[in-house]
Amino acid sequence: MLVVKDLRTYFYTRAGVYRAVDGVSFHVNRGETLGIVGESGSGKSVSQYSLLRLIPSPPGKIVSGTAMVDGVDLLNCPLSELQKIRGKKISMIFQDPMTCLNPYMTIGDQLMEPLFIHDNMGKEDARKKAIIALEEVGIQSAETRLKSYPHELSGGMRHRVMIAMALITEPELLIADEPTTALDVTVQAQILDLIKALQKKKNTAVIFITHDLGVIAGVADRVMVMYAGNVVETAPTAKLFANPSHPYTRALLGSIPSMHERGQRLRTIHGMPPDLSKEIVGCAFAPRCPDNKEKGSCGTTKPELVAINSDHYVANCVGCVANKLQPLKNKGESNFSKISEVTL
Amino acid sequence: MSELVLDRIKTEKAEKGRSLWQDAWSRLTKNKAAMLGFGILSLFVLLAIFAPWIAPYSYETQDLVMGPTAPSASHWFGTDTLGRDMYTRVLYGARISLMVGFIATFVSLVVGVIWGTVAGFIGGRVDSVMMRIVDIMYSIPFILLVILLMVMFNSSNNTVNLLLLFFSIGAVEWLTMARIVRGQVLNIRKMEFIEACYSMGLSNSAIIFRHLIPNVLGPIIVYATLTVPTVMLLEAFLSFLGLGVQPPMSSWGILISNGVENMEEYPWLLLFPGLTFSATLFSLNFLGDGLRDALDPKASKD
3-class DSSP state of B70: coil
Report CB contact under 8 Å: A52, B198: yes
Mutation choice for A interface testing from B20, B27, B186, B193 by most A CBs within 10 A? B193
Residue from the list A95, A113, A147 with its beta carbon closest to the beta carbon of B200: A113
pLDDT of amino acid A329: 43
Which residue of chain B comes nearest to A116, CA vs CA? B202
SS (H, E, C) chain A: CEEEEEEEEEEEECCEEEEEEEEEEEEECCCCEEEEECCCCCCHHHHHHHHCCCCCCCCEEEEEEEEEECCEECCCCCHHHHHHHECCCEEEECCCCCCCCCCCCCHHHHHHHHHHHHCCCCHHHHHHHHHHHHHHCCCCCHHHHCCCCHHHCCHHHHHHHHHHHHHCCCCCEEEEECCCCCCCHHHHHHHHHHHHHHHHHHCCEEEEECCCHHHHHHHCCEEEEEECCEEEEEEEHHHHHHCCCCHHHHHHHHCCCCCCCCCCCCCCCCCCCCCCCCCCCCCCCHHHCCCCCCCCCCCCCCCCEEEEECCEEEECCHHHHHHHHHHHCCCCHHHHHHHHHHHC
pLDDT of amino acid B132: 93
- Percent of chain A scoring above 70 in pLDDT: 87
Report, as an integer, the average pLDDT of A207-232.
86
Residue A304 has pLDDT above 60, yes or no: yes
Report, as an integer, the average pLDDT of A262-272.
72
pLDDT of amino acid A339: 36
A15-20 long-range contacts (CB < 8 A, ≥24 apart) are A15/A277, A16/A277, A16/A278, A17/A277, A18/A276, A18/A277, A19/A229, A19/A276, A19/A277, A20/A46, A20/A60, A20/A229, A20/A276
Residue A327 has pLDDT above 70, yes or no: no
Q: Which residues in chain B touch residue A52, judged by CB atoms under 8 angstroms apart?
A: 198-199
For A168-198, what is each residue's pLDDT tens digit? Answer: 888 888 888 887 776 777 777 877 888 888 8
pLDDT of amino acid B182: 92
Residue from the list A86, A95, A102 with its beta carbon closest to the beta carbon of B201: A86
Range name among A12-16, A247-251, A258-262, B79-83 with the lowest pLDDT average: A258-262
pLDDT of amino acid B27: 79
pLDDT of amino acid B14: 41
Q: Which residue has the higher pLDDT, A42 or A331?
A: A42
Q: Which residue has the higher pLDDT, A27 or A318?
A: A27
pLDDT of amino acid A328: 42
Q: What are the beta bridge partners of residue A35?
A: A208, A223
Structure confidence at residue A292 as a pLDDT band (50, 70, 90): low
Mutation choice for A interface testing from B200, B212, B213 by most A CBs within 10 A? B200
Question: A164 touching B, CB under 8 A?
Answer: no
pLDDT of amino acid A336: 39
Rounded to a whole number of angstroms, the distance from the CA of B134 to the nearest CA of chain A is: 24
Q: What is the CA radius of gyration of chain B?
A: 22
Output the tens digit of pLDDT for each of chain B's 302 residues.
Answer: 445 545 544 444 443 444 666 777 877 888 888 889 889 989 988 888 887 787 777 777 776 677 677 777 777 777 777 777 788 888 888 888 888 888 888 888 889 999 999 898 888 888 899 999 999 888 887 778 777 877 777 766 677 777 887 878 887 888 888 999 999 898 888 888 888 888 888 888 888 888 888 888 888 888 888 888 788 878 877 777 777 777 777 888 888 888 888 878 888 888 888 888 888 888 888 888 888 888 777 765 44
Rounded to a whole number of angstroms, the distance from the CA of A208 to the nearest CA of chain B is: 16
* CB–CB contacts below 8 A, A to B: 85
Report CB contact under 8 Å: B192, A83: no
Taking the complete model, does pTM exceed 0.80, yes or no?
A: no
Mutation choice for A interface testing from B199, B207, B301 by most A CBs within 10 A? B199
Residue A344 has pLDDT above 70, yes or no: no
pLDDT of amino acid A335: 38
pLDDT of amino acid A324: 59
User: Residues of A numbered 45-64 whose beta carbons fall under 8 angstroms of chain B's beta carbons: which are they?
Assistant: 52, 54, 58
**Distance separating alpha carbons of residues A223 and A38, to the nearest angstrom:** 11
pLDDT of amino acid B178: 92
pLDDT of amino acid B162: 78
Report CB contact under 8 Å: A105, B211: yes
Q: Which residue has the higher pLDDT, B13 or A230?
A: A230
Residue A222 has pLDDT above 80, yes or no: yes
The answer to whether A47 and A7 have CB atoms below 8 angstroms apart is yes
For B198-239, what is each residue's pLDDT tens digit? Answer: 888 888 888 888 888 888 888 888 888 888 878 887 887 777
Question: A336 touching B, CB under 8 A?
Answer: no
